[in-house]
């Protein structure tokens, strides 16, 4: 229960910092010259944080009812399958770009 509280509070603090930076639209470097930052970077960080939070909560709930070894094996299998899928998709896209450029 305490770990869940710390994880949730850390994500909330992270979320607040992202929103504050996004609303300001600039980030200050060490030389105090403002630079603009793409909104897509913030959006992807928010989405990634939300997905990690959901995955953590789901995993903690699943660990209460399913043995840890089965979850780790299923996670490793799903990770392997998804990496093979991403690699295959990337290979197809690259080969199509090469065919179009010829």
**pLDDT per position as a tens digit, 7-27:** 666 777 777 666 666 655 555
Q: Cα dihedral sign for 31, 36, 41, 43?
A: positive
Q: What is the mean pLDDT of residues 44-71?
A: 86
How many folded domains does the chain comprise?
A: 1
CA dist 48 and 40 (Å) reads 12
CA dist 102 and 96 (Å) reads 10
Structure confidence by residue, pLDDT tens digits, 27-44:
555 555 566 667 777 788
* Spatial contact of 19 and 75, defined as CB atoms under 8 Å apart: no
| Domain extent at residue 80 | 2-101
pLDDT(1) > 60: no
* Spatial contact of 46 and 8, defined as CB atoms under 8 Å apart: no
């Amino acid at each position: 229960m305490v770990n869940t509280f710390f994880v949730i509070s850390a994500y909330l603090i992270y979320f607040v910092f992202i929103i504050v930076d996004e609303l300001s639209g600039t980030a200050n470097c060490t030389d105090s010259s403002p630079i603009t930052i793409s909104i897509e970077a913030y959006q992807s960080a928010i989405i990634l944080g939300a997905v990690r939070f959901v995955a953590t909560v789901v995993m903690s709930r699943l660990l209460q009812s399913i043995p840890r070894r089965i979850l780790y094996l299923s996670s490793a299998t799903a990770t392997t399958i998804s990496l093979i899928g991403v690699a295959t998709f990337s290979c197809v896209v690259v080969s199509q770009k090469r065919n179009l450029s010829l």
